Amino acid sequence: MTRLCVSLTGSTCRRMIEDMQAAAAAGADMVELRLDCLDEWDPSGIDMLLGAASRFPGEVLATCRRAAEGGHCDEDETVRVSRLEHVGLSDAIDYIDFEYESLRASPNIRQKIALVCGSRHGPAGRPKRKLILSKHEIEATPPWYTLRFTLDAMGREGADVVKLACRAGSIVDALHMLDALHYSVPARPTVALAMGEAGLITRVLARKLGAFLSFAALEEGREAAPGQVSIERMRGLYRWDAIGPETRVYGVIGCPVAHSMSPAIMNAAFAAAGIDAVYLPLRVEPGFEALAAFLTGVLRRPWLHMRGFSVTIPHKQDLLRFVDRRDGVVEPLARRIAAANTLVIEPGEHLDGADAKVSAYNTDYRGALEALCEGLACRPEDLRDTPVAVLGAGGVSRAIVAGLRDWGCRVTIFNRTRDKAEALAAEFGAQARPIEDCARHDARVVVNGTSLGMWPDVDASPLPPEGLAGRPLVFDTVYNPMETRLLREARERGCATVDGVAMFVRQAAAQFELWTGRPAPIDTMRATVIERLSA
Q: How many CB atoms lie within 10 A of CB 244?
A: 10
In 3D space, the residue among 57, 58, 56, 76 whose CA is nearest the CA of residue 66 turns out to be 76
Residue 460: is it exposed, middle or buried by C-beta count within 10 angstroms (0-12/13-18/19+)?
A: middle
Residue 124: is it exposed, middle or buried by C-beta count within 10 angstroms (0-12/13-18/19+)?
A: exposed
Quote the CA–CA distance of 381 and 148 in Å, as a whole number: 58
Which residues make Cβ contacts (< 8 Å) with residue 434, sequence separation at least 6? 414, 418
Quote the CA–CA distance of 391 and 462 in Å, as a whole number: 7
The catalytic residue positions are 136, 163, 316, 364
Which residues make Cβ contacts (< 8 Å) with residue 351, sequence separation at least 6? 302
Quote the CA–CA distance of 93 and 277 in Å, as a whole number: 35
Q: Check the CA dihedral 105-111-112-114 and report its sign.
A: positive
How many Å separate Cα 403 from the centre of its chain?
Answer: 29
Angle between the 395-406 and 418-428 helix axes, to the nearest 10 degrees?
30
CA atoms within 13 A on the CB side of 442: 4
Quote the CA–CA distance of 394 and 140 in Å, as a whole number: 38
394 vs 178, 321, 526, CA distance in Å?
A: 38, 20, 25
Quote the CA–CA distance of 239 and 349 in Å, as a whole number: 29
The alpha helices in 377-434, defined as continuous H runs, are 395-406, 418-428
Which residues make Cβ contacts (< 8 Å) with residue 78, sequence separation at least 6? none
Q: Check the CA dihedral 492-494-495-497 and report its sign.
A: positive
Is residue 161 left, alpha or beta, with left meaning phi > 0 and alpha meaning psi from -120 to 50? beta
At 306 the three-state DSSP class reads strand
Element (DSSP H or E) covering residue 60: strand 59-63
How many Å separate Cα 387 from the centre of its chain?
Answer: 40
